[in-house]
Protein backbone atom coordinates (compact mmCIF):
# COMPACT_ATOMS: atom_id res chain seq x y z
CA UNK A 1 0.00 0.00 0.00
CA UNK A 2 1.52 3.34 -1.05
CA UNK A 3 0.57 6.60 0.59
CA UNK A 4 -1.56 9.01 -1.44
CA UNK A 5 -0.81 12.51 -2.65
CA UNK A 6 -3.10 15.34 -1.53
CA UNK A 7 -5.63 12.91 -0.13
CA UNK A 8 -6.60 11.54 -3.55
CA UNK A 9 -6.83 7.98 -2.23
CA UNK A 10 -9.28 9.13 0.41
CA UNK A 11 -11.69 10.46 -2.21
CA UNK A 12 -12.07 6.96 -3.65
CA UNK A 13 -12.33 5.21 -0.30
CA UNK A 14 -15.44 3.11 0.32
CA UNK A 15 -17.10 4.03 3.59
CA UNK A 16 -19.12 1.65 5.78
CA UNK A 17 -22.54 2.31 7.34
CA UNK A 18 -22.57 4.05 10.71
CA UNK A 19 -21.27 1.49 13.25
CA UNK A 20 -22.64 0.74 16.71
CA UNK A 21 -19.18 0.99 18.29
CA UNK A 22 -15.72 2.37 17.54
CA UNK A 23 -12.27 2.31 19.08
CA UNK A 24 -10.83 5.69 19.99
CA UNK A 25 -7.07 6.11 19.59
CA UNK A 26 -6.31 9.37 21.38
CA UNK A 27 -2.64 9.82 20.33
CA UNK A 28 0.12 10.66 22.78
CA UNK A 29 -0.04 14.42 22.10
CA UNK A 30 -3.74 14.60 22.87
CA UNK A 31 -3.33 12.40 25.94
CA UNK A 32 -0.46 14.43 27.40
CA UNK A 33 -1.07 17.98 26.24
CA UNK A 34 -4.64 18.51 24.98
CA UNK A 35 -6.78 15.87 26.74
CA UNK A 36 -9.88 18.05 26.45
CA UNK A 37 -9.75 17.63 22.66
CA UNK A 38 -9.90 13.86 23.07
CA UNK A 39 -12.80 14.08 25.50
CA UNK A 40 -14.68 16.42 23.17
CA UNK A 41 -14.12 14.07 20.23
CA UNK A 42 -15.50 11.18 22.29
CA UNK A 43 -18.53 13.29 23.23
CA UNK A 44 -19.19 14.06 19.55
CA UNK A 45 -19.17 10.35 18.76
CA UNK A 46 -21.27 9.28 21.74
CA UNK A 47 -23.81 11.98 21.02
CA UNK A 48 -24.37 10.30 17.65
CA UNK A 49 -25.34 7.08 19.43
CA UNK A 50 -21.97 5.37 18.90
CA UNK A 51 -20.37 3.42 21.74
CA UNK A 52 -16.74 4.50 22.17
CA UNK A 53 -14.16 1.98 23.35
CA UNK A 54 -10.97 3.46 24.74
CA UNK A 55 -8.15 0.87 24.91
CA UNK A 56 -6.36 1.61 28.18
CA UNK A 57 -2.90 0.43 27.08
CA UNK A 58 -2.61 2.65 24.02
CA UNK A 59 0.48 4.84 23.78
CA UNK A 60 2.02 6.11 20.52
CA UNK A 61 1.45 5.35 16.84
CA UNK A 62 5.21 5.09 16.27
CA UNK A 63 5.45 8.13 14.03
CA UNK A 64 8.24 9.94 15.98
CA UNK A 65 10.60 6.97 15.72
CA UNK A 66 9.58 6.14 12.15
CA UNK A 67 10.04 9.66 10.79
CA UNK A 68 13.33 10.06 12.67
CA UNK A 69 14.88 7.04 11.00
CA UNK A 70 14.50 4.40 13.72
CA UNK A 71 12.41 1.66 12.08
CA UNK A 72 13.18 -1.03 14.67
CA UNK A 73 12.02 1.18 17.53
CA UNK A 74 8.90 2.09 15.51
CA UNK A 75 8.17 -1.61 14.94
CA UNK A 76 8.27 -2.28 18.67
CA UNK A 77 5.88 0.58 19.38
CA UNK A 78 3.43 -0.44 16.65
CA UNK A 79 3.56 -4.12 17.61
CA UNK A 80 2.41 -3.14 21.10
CA UNK A 81 -0.60 -1.32 19.62
CA UNK A 82 -1.96 -4.04 17.35
CA UNK A 83 -3.55 -6.02 20.18
CA UNK A 84 -5.63 -3.00 21.19
CA UNK A 85 -8.27 -3.52 18.50
CA UNK A 86 -9.44 -7.17 18.62
CA UNK A 87 -12.98 -6.53 17.36
CA UNK A 88 -13.82 -5.37 13.86
CA UNK A 89 -14.76 -1.83 14.89
CA UNK A 90 -13.51 1.33 13.14
CA UNK A 91 -10.52 3.03 14.78
CA UNK A 92 -11.06 6.79 15.13
CA UNK A 93 -8.06 9.09 15.47
CA UNK A 94 -8.36 12.83 16.36
CA UNK A 95 -5.14 13.64 14.51
CA UNK A 96 -4.65 13.45 10.78
CA UNK A 97 -0.90 12.86 10.97
CA UNK A 98 -1.28 9.93 13.38
CA UNK A 99 -4.16 8.52 11.36
CA UNK A 100 -1.95 8.76 8.27
CA UNK A 101 0.84 6.90 10.07
CA UNK A 102 -1.53 4.10 11.01
CA UNK A 103 -3.29 3.90 7.66
CA UNK A 104 -0.29 4.12 5.32
CA UNK A 105 2.87 3.24 7.24
CA UNK A 106 2.07 0.55 9.81
CA UNK A 107 1.96 -2.01 7.03
CA UNK A 108 5.31 -0.83 5.63
CA UNK A 109 7.01 -1.27 8.98
CA UNK A 110 6.32 -5.02 8.83
CA UNK A 111 7.22 -5.49 5.16
CA UNK A 112 9.43 -8.51 6.01
CA UNK A 113 7.00 -10.12 8.46
CA UNK A 114 3.89 -11.35 6.55
CA UNK A 115 1.88 -12.20 9.66
CA UNK A 116 2.43 -8.84 11.34
CA UNK A 117 1.98 -7.04 8.04
CA UNK A 118 -1.43 -8.67 7.60
CA UNK A 119 -2.49 -7.61 11.11
CA UNK A 120 -1.29 -4.05 10.53
CA UNK A 121 -3.09 -3.87 7.18
CA UNK A 122 -6.35 -5.02 8.77
CA UNK A 123 -6.21 -2.21 11.34
CA UNK A 124 -5.15 0.33 8.71
CA UNK A 125 -8.17 -0.49 6.56
CA UNK A 126 -10.54 0.54 9.37
CA UNK A 127 -8.63 3.58 10.60
CA UNK A 128 -10.33 6.96 10.12
CA UNK A 129 -9.38 10.51 10.97
CA UNK A 130 -12.11 12.09 13.14
CA UNK A 131 -13.45 14.66 10.65
CA UNK A 132 -13.35 12.09 7.85
CA UNK A 133 -15.43 9.72 9.98
CA UNK A 134 -17.93 12.41 11.00
CA UNK A 135 -18.44 13.58 7.42
CA UNK A 136 -18.39 10.33 5.45
CA UNK A 137 -19.60 7.69 7.91
CA UNK A 138 -21.70 9.49 10.52
CA UNK A 139 -23.13 12.05 8.10
CA UNK A 140 -22.75 14.70 10.80
CA UNK A 141 -25.44 17.35 10.55
CA UNK A 142 -26.42 19.37 13.61
CA UNK A 143 -27.78 22.87 14.03
CA UNK A 144 -25.17 25.56 14.52
CA UNK A 145 -26.17 27.34 17.73
CA UNK A 146 -23.29 29.82 17.81
CA UNK A 147 -23.06 33.44 16.77
CA UNK A 148 -21.67 34.21 13.30
CA UNK A 149 -17.90 33.78 13.30
CA UNK A 150 -15.01 33.66 10.84
CA UNK A 151 -12.34 31.03 11.41
CA UNK A 152 -9.33 29.79 9.53
CA UNK A 153 -8.37 26.13 9.21
CA UNK A 154 -4.87 24.69 9.53
CA UNK A 155 -4.11 21.14 8.40
CA UNK A 156 -0.77 19.50 9.04
CA UNK A 157 1.25 18.90 5.89
CA UNK A 158 1.38 15.10 6.33
CA UNK A 159 -2.31 14.85 7.24
CA UNK A 160 -3.19 16.96 4.23
CA UNK A 161 -1.30 14.69 1.85
CA UNK A 162 -2.12 11.34 3.41
CA UNK A 163 -5.63 11.78 4.81
CA UNK A 164 -7.10 14.71 2.87
CA UNK A 165 -7.84 16.53 6.11
CA UNK A 166 -8.10 19.90 4.36
CA UNK A 167 -11.07 18.55 2.40
CA UNK A 168 -12.96 16.89 5.26
CA UNK A 169 -12.12 19.75 7.62
CA UNK A 170 -13.60 22.26 5.20
CA UNK A 171 -16.66 20.08 4.67
CA UNK A 172 -17.30 19.68 8.38
CA UNK A 173 -17.02 23.44 8.94
CA UNK A 174 -19.30 24.08 5.94
CA UNK A 175 -22.04 22.19 7.76
CA UNK A 176 -22.04 24.88 10.45
CA UNK A 177 -24.35 27.55 9.05
CA UNK A 178 -22.96 30.48 11.04
CA UNK A 179 -19.29 29.75 10.40
CA UNK A 180 -17.35 31.44 7.61
CA UNK A 181 -14.05 29.84 6.61
CA UNK A 182 -11.23 32.21 5.67
CA UNK A 183 -8.48 30.61 3.57
CA UNK A 184 -4.93 31.72 4.20
CA UNK A 185 -2.10 32.18 1.74
CA UNK A 186 0.27 29.58 3.20
CA UNK A 187 -2.34 26.88 3.69
CA UNK A 188 -0.36 23.99 2.21
CA UNK A 189 2.90 24.92 3.94
CA UNK A 190 4.26 23.30 7.08
CA UNK A 191 3.92 25.15 10.37
CA UNK A 192 7.43 24.10 11.36
CA UNK A 193 6.47 21.55 13.99
CA UNK A 194 7.25 18.32 12.16
CA UNK A 195 7.66 16.34 15.37
CA UNK A 196 11.37 16.13 16.16
CA UNK A 197 12.14 18.64 13.40
CA UNK A 198 11.19 21.53 15.67
CA UNK A 199 13.62 20.24 18.30
CA UNK A 200 16.51 19.51 15.94
CA UNK A 201 16.13 22.71 13.90
CA UNK A 202 14.60 25.32 16.25
CA UNK A 203 15.67 28.39 14.27
CA UNK A 204 14.23 27.09 11.00
CA UNK A 205 11.11 25.90 12.80
CA UNK A 206 10.61 29.31 14.43
CA UNK A 207 10.90 31.05 11.07
CA UNK A 208 8.37 28.68 9.54
CA UNK A 209 5.81 29.01 12.32
CA UNK A 210 6.23 32.79 12.31
CA UNK A 211 5.30 32.84 8.62
CA UNK A 212 2.34 30.56 9.32
CA UNK A 213 1.09 32.72 12.20
CA UNK A 214 1.35 35.85 10.05
CA UNK A 215 -0.63 34.20 7.24
CA UNK A 216 -3.33 33.02 9.64
CA UNK A 217 -3.65 36.46 11.23
CA UNK A 218 -3.83 38.10 7.81
CA UNK A 219 -7.16 36.38 7.16
CA UNK A 220 -8.79 38.44 9.91
CA UNK A 221 -10.29 35.27 11.38
CA UNK A 222 -11.37 35.22 15.01
CA UNK A 223 -9.49 31.97 15.64
CA UNK A 224 -7.67 29.05 14.05
CA UNK A 225 -8.99 25.50 14.25
CA UNK A 226 -7.08 22.35 13.43
CA UNK A 227 -7.31 18.61 13.94
CA UNK A 228 -3.60 18.17 14.67
CA UNK A 229 -2.55 19.02 18.21
CA UNK A 230 1.17 19.25 17.43
CA UNK A 231 0.46 22.03 14.94
CA UNK A 232 -2.09 23.57 17.30
CA UNK A 233 0.45 23.84 20.12
CA UNK A 234 3.19 25.11 17.82
CA UNK A 235 1.03 27.81 16.22
CA UNK A 236 -0.80 29.06 19.30
CA UNK A 237 2.28 29.09 21.52
CA UNK A 238 4.20 31.07 18.90
CA UNK A 239 1.31 33.53 18.71
CA UNK A 240 1.32 33.78 22.51
CA UNK A 241 5.06 34.54 22.47
CA UNK A 242 4.52 37.29 19.91
CA UNK A 243 1.70 38.71 22.05
CA UNK A 244 3.94 38.66 25.12
CA UNK A 245 6.78 40.40 23.28
CA UNK A 246 4.37 43.05 21.99
CA UNK A 247 2.80 43.61 25.40
CA UNK A 248 -0.63 42.38 24.28
CA UNK A 249 -2.85 41.02 27.04
CA UNK A 250 -5.46 39.44 24.78
CA UNK A 251 -4.57 36.58 22.41
CA UNK A 252 -4.22 37.76 18.84
CA UNK A 253 -4.68 34.23 17.45
CA UNK A 254 -6.75 31.94 19.69
CA UNK A 255 -6.92 28.34 18.59
CA UNK A 256 -8.58 25.05 19.45
CA UNK A 257 -9.02 21.52 18.21
CA UNK A 258 -11.70 21.03 15.57
CA UNK A 259 -13.58 18.62 17.85
CA UNK A 260 -13.89 21.20 20.61
CA UNK A 261 -14.99 23.89 18.16
CA UNK A 262 -17.67 21.71 16.53
CA UNK A 263 -18.98 20.47 19.87
CA UNK A 264 -19.38 24.01 21.22
CA UNK A 265 -21.07 25.25 18.06
CA UNK A 266 -23.64 22.45 18.12
CA UNK A 267 -24.85 22.80 21.70
CA UNK A 268 -22.39 20.59 23.50
CA UNK A 269 -20.39 21.44 26.61
CA UNK A 270 -16.66 21.18 25.86
CA UNK A 271 -14.37 19.65 28.45
CA UNK A 272 -12.15 21.88 30.53
CA UNK A 273 -8.63 21.18 31.60
CA UNK A 274 -8.34 20.68 35.35
Q: Print the SS3 string covering the chain.
A: CCCCCCCHHHHCCCCCCCCCEEEECCCHHHHHHCHHHHHHHHHHHHHCCCEEECCCCCCCCCHHHHHCCCHHHHHHHHHHHHHHCCCCCCEEECCHHHHHHHHHHHHHHCCCCHHHHHHHHHHHHCEEEHHHHHHHHHCCCCCCCCCCEEEEEECCHHHHHHHCHHHHHHHHHHCCCCEEECCCCCCCCCCCCCCCHHHHCHHHHHHHHHHHHHHHHHCCCCEEEECCHHHHHHHHHHHHHHHHHHCCCCCCCCEEEHHHHHHHHCCCCCCCCC
Taking CA atoms, 187 is separated from 11, 146, 154, in Å, by 20, 25, 7
* Sign of the alpha-carbon torsion through 33, 67, 134, 189: positive
* Sign of the alpha-carbon torsion through 270, 264, 156, 96: positive
pLDDT value of position 194:
77
Query: Domain holding 215: CATH number?
Result: 3.40.50.11810
Q: In what order do the strands lie in the sheet with 255-257?
A: 179-181, 149-154, 223-226, 255-257
Give residue-wise pLDDT tens across range 71-88. 999 999 999 999 999 999
| Domain stops at, among 102, 137, 172 | 137
Query: Domain holding 61: CATH number?
Result: 3.40.50
Give residue-wise pLDDT tens across range 224-255. 999 999 999 999 999 999 999 999 999 999 99
pLDDT value of position 200:
82
| Domain stops at, among 137, 163, 185 | 137
Q: Which of 127, 213, 140 is nearest to 172 (CA)?
A: 140
Give residue-wise pLDDT tens across range 34-78. 999 999 999 999 999 999 999 999 999 999 899 889 999 999 999
| Domain stops at, among 108, 137, 166 | 137
Domain that holds residue 42: 8-137
Q: Evaluate whether residue 273 is within a structural domain.
A: no
pLDDT value of position 4:
64
Q: Does 57 share its domain with 38?
A: yes
Q: How many domains does the chain have?
A: 2
For 70, other C-beta atoms within 10 Å of its C-beta total 14
Among 87-96, 134-143, 201-210, the minimum mean pLDDT is found in 201-210
Q: Does 235 share its domain with 179?
A: yes
Task: Judge whether residue 106 has pLDDT over 60.
Answer: yes
User: How high is the mean pLDDT of the chain?
Assistant: 93
Q: Does 188 share its domain with 208?
A: yes
Q: Evaluate whether residue 272 is within a structural domain.
A: no
Question: Are 152 and 182 contacting, i.e. CB atoms less than 8 angstroms apart?
Answer: yes
Bigger pLDDT: 184 vs 150: 150
Task: Judge whether residue 9 has pLDDT over 60.
Answer: no
Amino acid sequence: MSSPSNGTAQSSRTYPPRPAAVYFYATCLVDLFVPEAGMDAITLLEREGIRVIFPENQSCCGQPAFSSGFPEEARKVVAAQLDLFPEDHPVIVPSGSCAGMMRWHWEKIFAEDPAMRSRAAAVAARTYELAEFLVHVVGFQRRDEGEPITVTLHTSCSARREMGTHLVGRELLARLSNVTLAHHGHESECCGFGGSFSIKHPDVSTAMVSDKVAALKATGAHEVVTADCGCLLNITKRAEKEDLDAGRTRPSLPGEHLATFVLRRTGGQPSRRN
